Amino acid sequence: MTKENTISVSQTYELTNGCYNWTPLMCNIVGVIIYHISAKDENRNEVIFGAHSTDKYGHHVLDIPVKTLHGEIEGINKVSRNYEAIKKAVIELWKNPIKIKYNNGKFEMMQIITHVTNKIQGGKVRIKVDGETWEFLRRTDQYTKFNIIQWLSLKSYYSKRIVLLAKAWTKPMKYNAETLLSMFDLPKTYLVRHLASKILDTAKEELDKKGEVSFNYKPIFDPNQKNGRPKITGYLMWQIKKEEPQNAWIFSESLMIKKMNKEGVSEILDEDTITDLLHIGFRSEEIKANIFTLYHICLRYNIKNLISSFDEELENLEQTSNISFENPKGYYIKRMKNILQKEEKYQ
């Protein structure tokens, strides 16, 4: 994992071991909040994770790019504006608060998000977190440290949960069936043997390919059972460390720029411009295919501000025409060409 793809965050151990059953999108929303709790203002990556501020009521206000919440970070070619899915995910977070159970029988329950709106520009949503919840999630006396970029790229909820548990294992861990059912907020009637086929195998398959670490497991059987099908009472689980994820999506800016330098792109566009275009989401082949349009536009305009204005145009078009633009970069290039044609006409 290269430095460009590593952004480490720390999540309180109580949340890692909390009782909840979320979708991957619900996890991503909370994961981005955890990023903002962990990040120092001077190091905050606003391109990927958006801005952080506080309001007069003490809420923490986060303006987060929609594509990040959907796990579409740099290098992913489709820019998402799926607000409806985010609205549904937040409603489910309200219905399914985090439940923290302690060994002494005490518990805590909390709603993470107090307010959400898409009434802001630039393909973002605004999420508010109250001060007390923010401080709870900042607890770092015991915490799990993980790479948020890689974690957001995981597609399975179970992968996202188990990799955080595995990061904390220093030796094989025994989990009885009751603990696992409680951790994943599953009913007590859930068949314990299905934990392997429907949850553990699903997570292991993805983490073997894309996880920061992976894991292995074996069932624990009831030693007192003499006859019939062996009864599984839990699972022994242990961490598998990996120096480099296998077949993982890795987006390395430096490697991409070096590749384009060899192909002559840097003779036309400087590295700062190439970096800006990669951050916006252009792939190397898209930059090469439209290199002269991009060159003349970047000579005349600030590309980030121009794309932001195009995003506002797209949002207005989607709201007025009920049309979803699956390829916004195609729209960007078309608008750029229109601008250049008009300038040439009136020169």
H-type alpha helices, the chain: 13-16, 24-38, 46-49, 66-69, 83-95, 131-137, 148-153, 157-168, 177-183, 194, 201-210, 253-262, 271-280, 284-289, 291-300, 303-321, 328-346
Q: Going by DSSP bridges, is the β-strand pair 60-65/107-110 parallel, antiparallel, or unpaired? A: unpaired
Alpha-carbon torsion, ordered 169, 172, 174, 179, to 10 deg: 20
Q: Going by DSSP bridges, is the β-strand pair 51-54/60-65 parallel, antiparallel, or unpaired? A: antiparallel
Please give the CATH topology (third level) of the domain spanning 7-153.
Answer: Arc Repressor Mutant, subunit A (1.10.10)
Query: What is the pTM (predicted TM-score) of this model?
Result: 0.67
Angle between helices 271-280 and 291-300 in degrees, nearest 10: 100
Asked whether 266 and 260 are in contact (CB, 8 A), the reply is yes
Tell me whether the CATH fold assigned to 7-153 matches the one assigned to 157-248: yes
Asked whether 215 and 204 are in contact (CB, 8 A), the reply is yes
What's the pLDDT tens digit per position in 26-85? 999 999 999 999 888 777 888 889 999 999 999 999 999 888 898 876 544 344 567 888
CA distance 231 to 228: 9
CATH classification code of 157-248: 1.10.10.10
- Number of helices followed by number of strands (H, E) in the chain: 17, 11
Residues of the chain with pLDDT under 50: 1-4, 75-79, 244-253, 346-347
Quote the pLDDT of residue 245. Answer: 41
What's the pLDDT tens digit per position in 174-186? 999 888 888 888 8
Backbone angles phi, psi at 269, to 5 degrees: -115, 135
Q: Where are the domains of the chain?
A: 7-153, 157-248, 253-346
Average pLDDT, the chain: 82
Tokens of 132: 């007390």
Quote the pLDDT of residue 162. Answer: 94
CA distance 284 to 188: 51
237 SS3 class: strand
Backbone angles phi, psi at 100, to 5 degrees: -105, 120
